[in-house]
Every structure is written in C-alpha cells, then in structure tokens.
Structure 1
C-alpha cells in the first residue's frame, strides 16, 4: 500500500472497452488531467473514497498490447512496472472477449495483483453470450467482476474486490506457457538475472522481453549493475534458437493461443444473434454509396449546431466583457494602467474567451460521436477517399485528433506502422483545423455573414481543409514518399449510447485547457500586443487636435446661442428648462439602446440633420413640454452633432497615433507581402502573432481595435470589424483561408521536428504552407474582386 493508506489502482484495457466511462463514474469530478513526464500522452488520475478507504485510480492509455510499439503502450507498461500500483484493474469488453484477453495475457506476466472487470455484460447478454466466471478466475488467477460501466452496474462489487485484492497483495500466479523450447530458455535467463541480484522488475517478464529484443527493457536492464552477462546471455540464446522459432512473432502467437484457450473454456453459450444492432446500423452508416454523404451531413449538422447554439452564450460573454471595459474606464483614472487593463487584457483575452461556448460545444459533439462508436465508422468510410491519395483509413484517426489540437494529432501518427504513411499524415495534419482556429472562423463568419449562413461558412472552411489535405497527400505520396499503401485493418466497436457524465467530462477537460491557455499564454500575448500598439507615447501629430476641439466647441457655443435666440429663449430659467428636456431626451435614447441590446435588436437611430424631425421616441417628452420642445429638439441636435464632431476628431487622432505605433511599423514593413491579398497592417500583425497560437489572431485584433477605438464607449470586436471600411466579406473569407492553410503553432512545429527527427521536414512544412497560403489567397482574392465582390 502507498503511504497514508491510499490504494493505487492502474486501470488498463483496450480502446472502446468502457474503461474511461468506469473511471469517470468512480472518480467523478475528483480528477487531475495532465501529461506524463517528457511525453504528450495524457495522464489521468482520479480519487474516490469507498468504505473509508481512499482509492487513487490511474487511467492508463487504451492499448491492445504492451509490446511498446507505440508511445501509449510504452507509457501504460511503464506506469505498471515503474510506479508499482497496488493492483491492476483490467477492463475487458465481454462482447469481444477473445480480442481483449490478449492484453490480459500480457498483464499477467507483470505479476501484479489483478482484478478483471468483465464490462459491457449487457451487450454480451443481448448477443446471447454467457461465460463461466468461476472458470475464468481459475484460468487467469484474477478476481472477476461483471460490470456495465455505462449504467454503473457492478461498480460497488468491483471496488470491494479491488480493496480485497490490494490488501492480500496476491499475484495471479498464472503464466502463459510458451512451449518446452522457450520455457527452458526463459528459465536459463531467469537464473542469470538472479545471479546479478540487482534487477527489481519481475524476472520472468524481463527474460521474455529480452528474448523479444524489446529495446526499452534492454535499456532498463542495462541501467542495473552486473547485468552485462544477462544481456550477452539473451543475445546468445536468440542466436542459438533463431532457426528453430521466429522470435519476432512466436511470443505473440502463444499469448494469442492462451487468450483463445481461456475464451473457449469459459464460453458456455456462443452468440445466438448473428446480426447485432451494430450490424444493422452499419448497413446504413458505412454504406458504400451513402456512407460518405452521411458523414458530411453529420459534420455539417455539428458545425451548425456549434454556431447556432453557441452564438447565444457567446453574445452574453461579449456583452459582459464590454460592460467590464466600460466599468474599468470609470473606475480607473485615464492613463496607461486604464488602457492596459481595458484595451490590452480585457479586450484581448475577452475576445478569445467569448468563444469558449463554441469550443465546448465542438468538443461535446466530437466526444459524443467518438463515444457512440461512430468515429471508428467514419475512418472506415473515409478509407476509400484516403486510399485514392495513397493513405488509408487509419490515417483518419490522427487527422481527426487535429480538429482538437495539432500536437496530439502529430503524435497520433505513431499508430501508423508504415514510415511513408506516417510522414505524409504528419505533413497534412495542419490542414485539419484545430480548435484554436475555430474562434477566427466564427468571428469573421458572424461579423460578415447572416446568422443562418455562418455555420455553413465555418463548415465549408473545415471541409476545404480536408480537401487540401487529400490533394497534398496525393502529391506527397507520389513525389516524396512513393510506394504501395498498406492494407487498412481496424476494429469497429459496437455502438452504444455514451453516458452524459462521461461526455460532459470530456468536454470540460478540453474547456479547462482552453481557459488555462487564455489565462496565461494569451494574456501575455495580449499585453505584448498592447505594448507595441500603445507605444511610443510621444508621437508627432500632423494636426493640433486640442485646437480642433476648442474650435468645434466655440462653433457650437455660437450655434447654441443662435438657436436659443431664434426660439426666444432668453432667461436663465428658460435655458435651464430646455437643458433639462435635452438631458431627458438623451436618457430616453440611452434606455432604449440598452433595452434593444438586451433583446438583441437593432439600437434606435435618431436622425440629427438640419431639417430632421423629432422621432416617435420623444413623443411623451414632446407632449409634456409643447412650448419648449422645438427649442429642446434643436439643442439636442446641436449637442449630438457636437459629440459626433469631437468623436471624429478623437478617432482621427487615435488612428494617427496607432499608425505610428511599433505594431504599425512592423505591420507596414511586412505589408508589401500581404497587400496583394487585401490585408492591411493590422491583419499582418495578427497573423504573425498567430504563429504562436491561432487564438492570438483574435486577441491581437481585439487589442489593436480597442487601443484605436473609443475608450468611453467600448464595443465588441465584431462591431469594430464591421465598422472598419477596409474589411469586406471577401477579405474576411480570404483571411479565413489564410489561417486555414498557413503553418500551425510553434508547439506543433516543435513536435513535428521531434516526430520526423529532422529540422528539414519542419522547415519544409513551414515554407510550403506559407507559400501555398499566399498563392491560394492571392488567386481567391483577385478572382473575388474580378467578380465584383
């Protein structure tokens, strides 16, 4: 037992066996998600207290094997042999037991106390499958508990069994029989290991792995003292028997034989249903003709769901940050601190945080589709498309991860055994729009397209990324990595309805990571962008703006005097009454505007031209002040025009200051490259900043527009974009296209360098994606202009 009486439990199992569902049911919100040291494989730990005993569950990556061919397998194995958990809980899919028992055979070799959770028992029962659990316990040496993780059936019994096995610390005592020849050689190696007296791992397991020539285990053994003879002995044995057995596959064959023997012995009733419910669904969802259109329809519905439903809470968050900016302006004296907090932090980070609802809904949808088993079918359906470009459906799995984040997507390419398939998959991964790009797409789709079209626009950009990926995969497969593609083999899990709890937890895990990013990296980027946008402070203006304000003020003072004289308003009492009416009119407009914004309706517009008439909005005020209202209306128009003139001068001054900022200097330096695409310096700065993280494109624009905007009346970023005469729907689409194509974030580039093992491929990706982004956007923008858009 670990210190403080805590029992440490390693939860192991194949993908899609229901392991994570059980983990979520048992630990609930008491989870910690991070990464294993030195790798990007996700690490999940969760706590629970059962019958007064504290239990720590470690949810290992889902694997079919522990042969350390992939990083997931290596991590799962190392947690068991290095971290020394008190007990292993092996979750098996009862409806696919023979396949799952192969992993169980490998876990038995680690000689740890083990409990087997025979999960999805309800699915097996529906198929007519029955097992002799007592016989299974005898053959595996493990305690067997029947469970249904989705409905929490058997969870209590599983926890009781786990505590009991952990207390006894009794290992299964069952070994896989590898035949007379191999067993003799394993025994020889075990004796040699005993002689060294230093190896602390299970000696039989070490001996088997040395004969398998497992590089990771060889490295582990070499770190112990007095093991040179062990390594030499293992190599000598391999050389001695290499012509008698195929050491590359013989151990796998015996483990599989063990799994089949346990399965056949324990099976008391074979499946009675030849066609399962999943088979019936697959006739439609994986149909040769309709499978791909159905997949595209599902994706279209997902993105429209995200944009339509997410727009409502997104609007609330935008309004909240706008109100927060307005409060900061009144609470903090005017100066650099006010500008930093309002224009830098709130405008920058707020612009990104407003997209949290959309990110959460996207992950909710993807998590739901994955947990139902549909995404595995999508890989099968996409296989025909992928095969046309030299890949196969298995590449779809890491590419699918790219819709969440490019980093695990690149790492996920390790599941591809073929080097050429792996390299091509890595090189096209950035075309799959990560969640960091979603705020950029939805921002411009919402700003320049009707609500009913915004979801389709975003879906179109995602679909275009897939098309580009297919095209470049074909090119790379033909010219850089030519050769035959490997056959596609993949297990399709049965369909099942995921639990709401598990789906929501997946969604919130990703949401928390996004919030952490916004609260750290993106905040730092926003502050940096604010600095280069707000500075230098002392700039030389082309005009004396203070004098212009004074001139306008004098002009309207004279105009006010002429207006009052025209209506015969001469006494101070009459002037005070007129001013009071004007103040009431301003309050009425402010209240009407606030009410319209709350109801998401257009704000009322009051025309203040020379010959304009008072709107119906002022009818009540007009009826109460019939004699003085004509003069008050004229004075109201003077006041509104004075504010407009002053605002125009302020905007001109801020625009001139912004044009002389460090950000503008940098933006204008690179502008000759981007100008042919219709981009101005603001877009150039945001795109360069976006190389750090794609969300920073949004936060950068938010900061730039806030610094150059009206401090007293902050707006949402979409309003700033719509009011910018430079921005058009065509430029918005061109920018979305550029963000889709140009290189991923620095973190993804670093992982690409590590996974490919060469700076060459990372630089190649950086250069070809930038070049293609420029060429594609140049063609798109100029065709759009030629068509009159």
Structure 2
C-alpha cells in the first residue's frame, strides 16, 4: 500500500461528521486524547482505489477563533499537522450557518473539499442546492453526499484524491471587512510581515484578522516572539476597537462576523439555493418538539424515557451479569482446587479474581446503558434533555449540557461516575466543567446499589421504595447545592449562555450505535479494570498483613488442641462449632492487628461522632478504592468471611442483631457512603480530565468532609428523635 494521505474531517456539531467517520473507517479506528488535552481524538484508516487514507475526526466547531478548547485543537491540527486535504462537512439544510466555518478555511488557505451532507433532508424541506454553482463561487470542490446511507461518499473520496494529486497549494482568500477594518489591516501589514517566524506558519492577513478578533493564542504568540511589534499592533487594534465602539457601538469581531455572513449571502443569492415554500409548514422535528420540550409535558416524557432506559438496562443485562458471575465463580473454584492453601492462593482468589470480577460484572450493565444512551444521543433526544434542564442547572451555576454527565453517573441509579466524568468533555466553560466533574460522583452509581439495598432492606424493609426514591432525590439536591457552593467560591465566574443547536430527529443507524457503545465500554474496561485489579490486591494485603504475632498464633493453636481433647470424636458437631468459634476469634483478632484494622481503630476516634465503629471504617476504607467492595469488606470485617455483594443475607442478619447498629446508624452510614470520596478509578479519571491531581485530591477531601458533616448531623438529629 502507498503511503497514507492524511484527511481531516471538520465541520459544525451535528453536521454528520461522526456518521461519515464511522462509515469510512468502521472498526478500523483508534480513540485517544490530544496530547496534554482532554479533547477526544478519533483516527481511522481505509483503502480507496489502492490508496491508503488516514482519517482524523476533528472536534466539532463553529469557528476557528480560539474561544474554546475544541476550536483551538481543530485549528492547531490544521496548522501544525498540515493534512493533505480537509473535508468540510456542511449541512445542506443549514447552508448559510455551516458555510461560516468554510469561509475561515478559505481565509486560512487550507486544501479543502466541501462535502454537502444531508441533501436528502434539505430536499424534504423544499431546499434545492446547485452544487456546481457553489463550487464555482467558492473555488473549491463541492460534492453532495448522504453520510448515513453512504450515497456520494465514493465520489467524495475520488475528489479528495484528485485534489491531493493536483498538488496545488490554495491561495488564502482575502475577505473584505469594511473600510475601517480593511484600512487597519493595511496599516498593520508591515509589522505583521516583520514577524517572519509567525508568517512562515500563518497567512499575514489572517494574523491581522485574529489580532483584531482578540484571539488569545495569537496575541500571546505575538507578544512572546515579537514584543515590540506586538505593542504597536495592540495599540492599532485598540484604536480600531474604540473607533468602532464610538461610531457603531460594536467590537471588531462583530463587524468581521457580519461581513463573513455578508460574503456567504452574496454567494447564496446567485441562484445557488432555491426553496419551495409551503404555507404554515412545520418540519417533523418542530412538530415533535412542540410536545417533547413542552414546559409541563416535556419533563414527564423525559422521566419516562430515562426510567425506560434503566428498566431496559437492568432487565436485559441480568442474564449476562449472571453468566459472568458464574464464569468468575468457576475460575475461583478452579484456582481453589489447583493451589495449596497459603498467601498466593488467598491473593489470587480474593485479590485478583474477585477484584477483576467485581469490575467486569458491571460491564454488561454498562454496555446496555451505553447502547440505550447512544440511541438517545444519535436520535437527537439528548439535546432536548439538556435544553429542558438548562433553567434548573443555570440557577445552580451549571450548564444545560451538565445534565448528561449526572444521568450517566447514576442520576436515576445504576450508572457509573467514570463515563460521567468523561462526559463533561462536552462543556466549553472550564469552571462549569470542573464544577460538574467534581459533583457527578454524588450520584448513586451501580457500585453503591448493593450497599443501599443491604442497609435499606435490613433497617427500612417496610418502606424500601420510599427510601430508594428519597435517596435518589437527595443525590440530585446535594450535588446541585455543592455545585452552587463551588461556583460561588473557588470556581466563581459568570455562567455560560446556553446556546445549542437542536438537531433534527433521526433514526440511529445500528452500526453507528454499536460503534459508540463499544467505544465507551472499552474505555471503561481499560481505565477501570487495571486500576481495580491493583487496588483489590492492595486491599487484600492491608487486611491480611502483618498477621498475628507468633505467641498469639500459638495461643489459638493451643485452644484448638484443647478443643480436640475436650470433645471426643463422637461429638463432631460440638467440636466443629468450637473450632469455628476459635477460627472466627483468630480472624477477628488478625483483622484488628492488620494495617486496615489498626487504621479503622484509629479512625474510630473521629467516626464515633457519627456512630460509625472501627469495623465499618475498614469497609469505608475499601470504598475509597472501589464502592463495589464495601459489602464484601463489611462481611470480612464482621468476621463473616467473604460475602457476595448480591447475596448479603447473612450480613443483613448480623447487622440487624449487632448492638452498634440501629436504623439511625444505618441511615448515617447510608448518607456517608452516598456522598463521601469517589472511588479511586473516578479520582484518576478526574485528575486526567481536569489536567491536575490537585482537583482529584480536592474531590476526595471536599466530598468526604461534606459527607461526614451530613452524617454527624443525621446521627445526632436521628438519635434524638429515635430515643424520644
């Protein structure tokens, strides 16, 4: 195969870029992050007419001015990586708005082919586009396609290869921005052209336009490399801005945007677009939105859809979860039979197999959840959910787009904070994004459900449904209030206006849904599986070592000898009972003497204010690693050995009889577990997404402190009411 050419896919959000990328690359794609940035990078390969093509899916963006991370990433890739061709995806049904980005590609002088996508949707709306005339006016190839069905895609690739082989370097287009700005650009020319390091990378006039737009990256680069010229250029830009403010009451970037749209309109008015107007016509999407986004009916539909999503997830994933549990049970039994008793066997079963099993048992649940979310996302419904929730979220200092990370994290119950944290990538405001990723872990993820089920089923069996409902409401209230507190203190700043496109409803393609489902599931398996494995082994070691001193081991050995001599062989039941009690006492003392036991006892000096004893502290320490292990750790800590989180009956009975437990303590522990530090996998994910470990550590400290204050409050108020 020949050397692969690099093709960049660019375009507005919802223009069909991802659909085309999936159609071109299928399973031959790789998902990662751009170096040092948490914006997702998708790359794939295909072979067309014997020529290899490397396809890079750039973040969706409306502009090339660096107002957001996505815009900065897209622009830097075009400048630094210099793709052989940029395929600009343009929504044919929204031509004028989509061509705004195209004009900036023309100004930048990148080799470009316009893929006029969704021509079928445009035709249904009575819109007809003369692609040949548009090509002549813009001076770049224009190919009509339907990315969903693949219509016109082969012709698009033929045009791309022809453009590359022609080898003509495009000349940057000089748009006119009115006399004031054009004259300023002419005056700035000498200073800009003297900055040879920058003009070797960027077109000179384009640099001038970016300086007038106050593009932060370009301003900083100019100041760092040519400080004297930067000062003169800055003064020129300030004078132009003042003049435009005095005369027109606008800033230069507004004038520049207006003239770009004027350029687009002048092209469109040359018979490129013809419309068949139908009186009082409403598109299908508009008709649906009149009901789906209704102030009263909309939230009810949203609740029903989300309830249906989780019903689908848990009803149909159960069989696969049981199969995985059975598989890991067989593996555990096989290792138990093969290896002799000892530390290695204990580590392999309790540390490795149970550790991996606790993570992978959730994979079917997540796959079904991601499958349902992909359908909602690809159909266009999730955009409506964000639209409806914006008013509530805006009051608490968040963005309408924050709703999906909360839902994915377990807003209804049963999600996972890891993909929830990763879902914050869609938020453009850094402070709103931080506030969201720091609070999504308050949701009732699937790992917390066994604990909620155990404690509510044990102490509030007559009102299980009510307490589960209240627990769900509490997570939302606490998360939103915590976000409000963060936005008023360390993340203070103005809220970002919620401006988003409501894409038309579409039937998702099965292939696209499967690709999205697999991408998200594989990310979870990679990021969660390896970390949990290490943490499980560490937790096992903390509860096992340093073990009992030799004299204590000798003491329990002596007790066993005494029991064997006291009970004759005929009374095997009594002997077995005595030996089991000795083993339980030895295990309990060994646990007290372990690293985890000593830590739990030390923490009891603080936790007793919330009515939490040392054994529960050990389980809570395990929860720092993974919430999945809280129930099994409680079983061990209460001298019951290994307890399956799904089969916690014996632990339930033990807690109900334990004098240290009562409904108030159960409610206190429940509150603490719901809101204290995220699991270690989520903490790692927060560090990666926030770009700093300080936010990950802050999340652990802030959540735990808040949870402890709430737990102490609940314990003392509850105790007063309970005793009275």
Superposition pairs of residues 64-79 of structure 1, within 5 angstroms: 64-79=62-77
Counterpart of 1:414 (choices 419, 428, 431) is 428
Query: Which residue number corresponds to residue 212 of structure 1?
Result: 213
* Alpha-carbon distance in 1 for matches of 2:455, 2:79: 56
Deviations 1:163-215 (A, max 9, x none): 22222244555443323443444355455544554332231322322332322
Residue 365 in 1 paired to residue 372 in 2? yes
CA distance in 1, matches of 2:91, 2:512: 18
Matching residue of 1:723: 651
Q: Give the counterpart of 1:738 among 672, 690, 693.
A: 672
Which residue in the other structure is 1:626 paired with?
none
Q: Tell me the residue number matched to 1:298.
A: 305
Please point out which of 554, 570, 594 is paired with 1:559. Answer: 570
Return the alpha-carbon distance in structure 2 between the equivalents of residues 717 and 208 of structure 1: 62
Whether 1:349 aligns to 2:349 is: no
SS of the aligned residue for 1:63 comes to coil
Alignment of 1:155-304 (within 5 A): 155-170=153-168, 173=171, 174-187=173-186, 189-190=188-189, 192-198=191-197, 199-203=199-203, 204-221=205-222, 227-228=226-227, 230-245=229-244, 246-265=251-270, 266-270=272-276, 272=278, 274-304=281-311
**For 2:311 and 2:577, how far apart are their aligned partners in 1?**
39
Task: Tell me by how many angstroms 1:29 deviates.
Answer: 1.3
Give me the whole-angstrom Cα distance separating, in 1, the residues matched to 2:687 and 2:632.
Answer: 28
Would you say the 8 A contact 2:380–2:502 is kept in 1? yes
User: Residue 413 of structure 2 aligns with which residue?
Assistant: none
Distance 1:155 1:725 in 2: 64
State the match for 1:523 in structure 2. 533
Partner of 1:535: 545
Cα deviations by residue, 1:66-92 (Å, 9 ceiling, x for unpaired) = 211111111111111111111111112
Contact 2:622 2:629 in 1 (8 A): no
CA contact (8 A) 1:30 1:46 kept: yes
Change (3 A) 1:733 1:22: farther
- Structure 1 equivalent of residue 347 of structure 2: 340
Aligned to 2:628: 698
User: Any conservation in 2 of the 1:18–1:149 contact (CA below 8 Å)?
Assistant: yes
Mark the CA change 1:753 to 1:161 in structure 2 (over 3 Å): closer, same or farther: closer
User: What's 1:569 paired with?
Assistant: none
Gaps of 5+ in 1: 417-421, 561-637
The DSSP-based 3-state class of the residue aligned with 1:153 is coil
**What is the match of residue 624 of structure 1?**
none
1:230–1:35: structure 2 CA closer, same or farther, 3 Å change rule? same
Encode CA deviations 1:631-689: one digit per residue, 9 max, x unaligned: xxxxxxx6x77666655543443233223211111112113433454544454345445
What is the alpha-carbon distance in structure 2 between the residues aligned to residue 721 and residue 667 of structure 1?
Answer: 24
Shift of 1:119: 1.8
For the residues of structure 2 that align with 1:483 and 1:376, how far apart are their CA atoms?
Answer: 25
Q: What CA deviation, in whole Å up to 9, does each residue of 1:49-72 have, x standing for no partner?
A: 122111111111111222111111
1:134–1:161 Cα change, 3 Å: same
Cα separation, partners in 2 of 1:542 and 1:320, compared to 1, 3 Å: same
Residue in 2 that maps onto 1:612: none
Q: Does the aligned pair in 1 maintain the 2:543–2:595 contact within 8 Å?
A: yes
Q: Which moved more, 1:260-269 or 1:109-118?
A: 260-269
Instruction: Quote the offset at 1:254 in angstroms.
Output: 1.8
Paired residues in the alignment total 690
- The answer to whether the 8 A contact 2:677-2:704 is kept is yes
Instruction: State whether residues 390 and 473 of structure 1, in contact with CA within 8 Å, keep that contact through their aligned partners in structure 2.
Output: yes
- Matches of 1:155 and 1:456, distance apart in 2: 54
Query: CA 1:647/1:717 → structure 2, altered by over 3 Å: closer, same or farther?
Result: farther
1:57 is matched with which residue: 55, 58, 66? Answer: 55
CA–CA separation in structure 2 for the residues paired with 1:648 and 1:271: 86
Q: 1:415 to 1:196 in 2, by over 3 A?
A: closer
CA distance in 1, matches of 2:538, 2:613: 20
Distance 1:78 1:434, change over 3 A: farther
Q: Distance in 2 between matches of 1:484 and 1:492?
A: 24
Residues 1:739 and 1:155: Cα distance change in structure 2 (over 3 Å): farther
Does the aligned pair in 2 maintain the 1:372–1:495 contact within 8 Å?
yes
Distance 1:459 1:309 in 2: 22
Aligned position for 2:393? 386
> Hey, what's the Cα distance between the residues in 2 that align with 1:481 and 1:526?
34
**SS of the counterpart of 2:448?**
helix
Q: 2:440 aligns with which of 432, 451, 476?
A: 432
Where does structure 2 lack aligned partners over 5 or more consecutive residues?
A: 245-250, 410-416, 657-661
Aligned mates of 1:645, 1:303 — CA distance in 2? 48
CA contact (8 A) 1:448 1:722 kept: no
